[in-house]
């Protein structure tokens, strides 16, 4: 079953004394089958899409999923669901997120859902969940995971700003990516590179890296290198001439 094209819902975070006090009392726990009804309620609040029952069973049981809930006073106030997948299992539009030199079994993490219940927004819940997931991705267990990526509606400004504040970079525009209530909507893909991962190099990247290298090669170093090369040129020519002369003598002796 495909788990793609679920527009992530996110809220902005306001750093205030009240929000900090609230977060200090939030507990994190992994989702189980017992949380399916709660997850359904949150998804119906966030998304204009009805997910099949087997999808909820998959994300609360599958070992490849990271499904974490934020709980406050016994109430689930936010959820993140992400999947660890291999590069060759990504959909076509996402295969270029990593550089072409990475092997097909390189891991990536895809965020399916990230959000907070309406009455608990702007309290840092989404940031707490995202930070917990990124800490998990940076662990030795997932050192081979080189990027975290997601899809988001272009009209979901709050989500776009949130991810950009958390250092995600816009990868590309996905025209007509979402089908919602019979209408097509554009999406963005966003990526955060982790564990020394990096995207494909464009021609601009090659030029910029060349300029950076040349700028680090100071004028003094360049002058010293040029002087050393010119100064040693006569000796190199003399050595080359002697080698040719010696080779000629050896050839005559063999005759």
CATH code of the domain made up of 17-200? 3.40.630.30
40-71 confidence digits (pLDDT tens)? 999 998 887 788 999 999 999 988 899 999 99
Strands ordered across the beta sheet of 65-72? 27-30, 65-72, 75-86, 107-116, 145-153, 183-193, 169-180
Q: What is the pLDDT of residue 19?
A: 74
pLDDT of 245 higher than 50: yes
How much is the mean pLDDT over the chain? 83
Instruction: Calculate the CA 98 to chain-centre distance.
Output: 8
Q: Which residues are catalytic?
A: 110, 151
Higher per-residue confidence, 154 vs 250: 154
Domain boundaries, the chain: 17-200, 217-254
DSSP characters over 4-21 = -------------HHHHH
pTM here?
Answer: 0.73
More confident call, 232 vs 159? 159
pLDDT of 47 reads 83
Q: What is the pLDDT of residues 190-233, one digit of tens each?
A: 999 999 999 987 766 667 656 666 666 555 666 666 666 666 66
Find out whether 150 and 111 touch, Cβ atoms under 8 Å.
yes
**Overall average pLDDT of the 16-36 stretch:** 87
The closest alpha carbon to 189, from 253, 115, 96, 122, belongs to 96
Model confidence at 10: pLDDT above 50: no
């Amino acid at each position: 079953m495909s788990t793609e094209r679920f527009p992530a819902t996110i809220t902005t975070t306001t750093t205030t004394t009240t929000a900090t006090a609230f977060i200090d009392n939030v507990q994190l726990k992994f989702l189980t089958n017992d949380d399916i009804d709660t997850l359904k309620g949150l998804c119906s609040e966030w998304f204009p899409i009805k997910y099949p029952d087997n999808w909820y069973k998959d994300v609360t049981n599958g070992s490849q999923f990271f499904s974490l809930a934020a709980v406050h006073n016994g109430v689930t106030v936010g959820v993140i669901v992400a999947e660890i997948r291999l590069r060759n299992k990504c959909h076509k539009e996402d295969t270029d997120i990593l550089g072409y030199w990475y092997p097909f079994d390189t891991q990536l993490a895809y965020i399916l859902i990230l959000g907070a219940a309406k009455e608990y927004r702007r309290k840092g819940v989404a940031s707490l969940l995202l930070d917990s997931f990124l800490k998990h991705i940076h662990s030795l267990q997932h050192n081979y995971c080189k990027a975290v990526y997601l899809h988001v509606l272009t009209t979901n400004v709050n989500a776009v700003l949130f991810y950009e504040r958390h250092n995600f970079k816009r990868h590309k525009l996905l025209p007509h990516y979402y089908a919602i209530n019979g209408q097509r909507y554009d999406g963005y893909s966003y990526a955060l590179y982790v564990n020394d991962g990096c995207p494909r190099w464009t021609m601009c990247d090659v030029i910029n890296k060349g300029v950076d290298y040349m700028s680090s090669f100071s004028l003094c170093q360049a002058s010293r290198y040029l002087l050393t090369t010119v100064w040693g040129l006569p000796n190199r020519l003399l050595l080359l001439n002697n080698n040719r002369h010696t080779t000629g003598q050896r050839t005559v002796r063999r005759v």
